[in-house]
Structure 1
Amino acid sequence: MAIRNSLIREGVRRILSDSGFDLTESVDDLHKLAPPQEAGPADHVIVVDRSLLGSDGAAVVGEILHRFPSARVVALVSSFEFTEMAAIYAAGAYAYFLDQVPYQSLVAMMQMVAVGQKVAPPEIIDLLDNLLLLTETPPLHRGAQGYDLSEREWDVLGALERGLPNKTISRDIGISESAVKATVKSLLKKLSVSNRTQAAVLARELADHQGPARVLCGVGFHDVRALDPRS
């Protein structure tokens, strides 16, 4: 187990130990993980928290699996990001879930990983529900509506389409996190959607509706006006 925060690390360690897991290592840095001393019939499970995955979690998961080919990697994160989750699973991880998960759920998911099952986070169900809600309105009808968005709002919308968290959007656009939150709130109201996921899906539909005019640059759209349904 590699978790930087000592309180979370100790909490997870105690939960897993009390639940019958054989915890061989508990460290605050991935480089401190030592290769297993014995090759037993059961593969090792490596729990890694988000802060140790860096800016490219999928690449770090790949590096872990290069060092420990038979390991089953579990990513423990503080917030759910669909794009990141998909990339981490594609890199070979077995599970991706929030560090606020109830301990019974944590134990159940770890038990499934231990027997070779990949586990999807509960947030996936919410995502599917949101996608179903979006299908209730015909895409072309939504794409034909006019959206009075500022250039900053178009940039933030482009970032939401890519699944970026507020901290990354703040850094890439050059505005404060509070300004990002305010812009997201304004976007949701103008687009008549309930959350970031719905806004991201709608952004993709608008881009597809506009055809080749969609060109990404940084975290935003290269020509935001080209995406405006009124133009």
Structure 2
Amino acid sequence: MRRLDLLDDFAILLVDDHPLFRDGLTAALRHHVPGLRVHAVGTMASALEMLGSAGDKFDLVLLDYRLPGTDGLYCAELLIQQYPGIAVGLMSGLDDPTLPERAREAGLIAYLSKSLEISSLIEHLRRLAMGEPVFSAPDPPQQAFDATRADPMNLTARQLDVLRAMASGSSNKEIARTMGISPATVKKHLEAVFAKLGATNRLQAAMLARTVLGDPPP
């Protein structure tokens, strides 16, 4: 029987116009916290439309700081005025030490750096689920990947090699040529990797590779 999680049935609306980050983060959160409900849109207009029809179903709105034609802080203030009962947080990949305090002063409940490791992000979301504000700094730089270190996904050394090559953008044929194996063998390794990561395609696997490899995919 699965242990209950604070994030079970917690609903997040993610607003980010970068499809790679938006879809990758959504897949990673759903994989690591199956009970978490994550909905993602690419524009403020889409977010307002969704909130207008189902605003009471969301516990937290996470806005990217840079949105087309505007910025997340301005959008957050509009949301707080229009939906005073909903929690709003800001996410950014900018190295701007003023953003956490600016978000706090604007009445937001959170500032989350996009450089956070997925485990740190999930812990911050648990704190938010308890009603505790979170204004985070980026995680410290990770050490270089060590193939001998324990792998939480139980990938074999060869599967890790294939995953690293795929996350760097190599095709199956390029991976096969580099590793001296057949494309069919590469395909079998990737099928096993997808199953262990809970990914359904190469994009999701590349984003989840950050958790396993400790480096962001390109």
Return the TM-score normalized by structure 1: 0.47
Bigger Rg over Cα = 1
Question: 1 or 2 for the larger relative contact order (CA 8 Å, sep ≥6)?
Answer: 2
Return the TM-score normalized by structure 2: 0.49
Q: Which structure features the higher share of helix residues?
A: 1
